[in-house]
Amino acid sequence: MFLGIDIGTSGVKAVVIDPMGVVVDQGTAALSVQRPHRLWSEQEPAAWWAATSAAVRAIDPAVRRSVRGVGLAGQMHGATLLDAADAPLRPAILWNDGRSAAQCAKLEQAVPALRTITGNIAMPGFTAPKLAWVRDNEPELFARIATVLLPKDYVRLMMTGDKASDLSDSAGTLWLDVARRDWSDVLLDACGLHRGQMPRLHEGSEPTGVLLREVADLWGMDQVPVAAGGGDNAAGAIGIGVVADGDALLSLGTSGVIFVATRAFRPNPDRAVHAFCHALPNLWHQMSVHLSAASCVDWVARLTGTASVAELFARAEATGPAKGAELFLPYLSGERTPHNDADVRGAFLNLDHDTDPGRLAQAVLEGVAFALADGLDALGDAGTRLSRLAVIGGGARSAYWGRILAAALGVELAYLEGGEVGPALGAARLAQLAVDGGEPAAVCVPPPVRQIIAADPLLAEQLAPKRAAFREAYPALSTRTA
């Protein structure tokens, strides 16, 4: 068996697969996010470790005893700052934290070649501007930083004692020369850092160490190898077989991501498209990233007092697509692709006396779909043309939302068996590659297709006026000046 662990934003998921890739057992544990100030988003690293152990120990002990390797996936970009004794110096600053916009501008001025080296715009979500913010605002703490780790790699440190990372996750720091797959000394120096404070770099399918004896005993396992793993999106892609040039997925988790595997480094930073290393050797990927996706559904369920997300979907379906005038801008945490705007915030428009929870829910489903369509347009500007997307993440449970998404995006959606398992499945497959070797295409096979949802031209026509209004609304929300 092989264990995959995904350190997400809202929780940790642990999944065990057999050698054929079938999920045998899984466990979860919840996490919470702290927002002490506007634009801030933080978590305590100790909470990741506690949730990881809880999720793993929720798996049947007999299954755990059969595990031969572990892989890690996790939320990207989080800045975990450790002192010389490897103790966290402050809460980790997360991927959806927006406090460092000023530092982004300074980094681009300091390193004019930044976009060429990294393939990306400097955005507050990345790790580098977070460290520049700490340097500018918490200088005494900054001076004590001995190591900077990403969230999953802090968990690795607790598991193995090793300071290591994979290239897909590290590409999201804004310190990596993405074409060369190595740290950039120029970009590290621009943040007042050096290689000695960075983890060792590995391909995602390489082992980085073995479980510490005390961890193995706690989890009821042998001291098995731990694979480098991947950032959540790359690991999610590995889990559903997106491992060849042109393979693509749509991830509907806390954030929404369109992910395309490429055999070459193909950046388009001017439209806020991300270009990163994949979690396998000699592969890269493009992404359009939307900071709020399925999290908008959870939010509107709480807002309307709806008992469950399933009930919310049922209310939206009873309302029907494109029926109400309500419009939702899903920028609850700002936005990346294509706007790169950490300050913009979400909004409902066109509310009236007939607006009810069902119409609000429908507007949210449409609004997220429109934002994803904006991202797909940005990928098109980078020369990427897609006709099909495999769907993963919690939002993959709703076929009704799939109809709206397919129509708005103009592509066919393939819903896969077990697609909601997400990055943890890919992490387990990377563990399998690290232990047994083999060709990635033979190990990372797509799960069976559960359902195909084609783009409905009539529904697309009905949604078109609302999509046009959606695109016109962003400039009115934005606080930017010309």
What residues act catalytically? 232
Asked if 395 contacts 254 with a C-beta cutoff of 8 angstroms, the reply is no
| Token pair of 130 as six digits | 């977070």
Using CA atoms, how far residue 300 sits from 185, 327, 335, in Å, is 44, 13, 18
Cα 225 to Cα 207: distance, rounded to the nearest angstrom = 6
Residue by residue, DSSP assigns 199-241 as PEEE-TTSEEEE--HHHHHHHT----EEE--EEHHHHHHHHTT
Asked if residue 285 lies in contact with residue 278, where contact means CB atoms within 8 angstroms, the answer is: yes
The two tokens of residue 57 are: 């120990």
Burial of 177 (0-12, 13-18, 19+ CB in 10 A): middle
Cα separations in angstroms, 41 against 33, 82, 331, 448, 473:
6, 18, 15, 37, 26
Compute the residue count for the chain. Answer: 482
List of residues 6+ apart from 170 with CB closer than 8 A: 150, 176, 183, 199, 201, 277
User: 173, 168, 179, 232: which is closest to 205 by C-alpha?
Assistant: 168
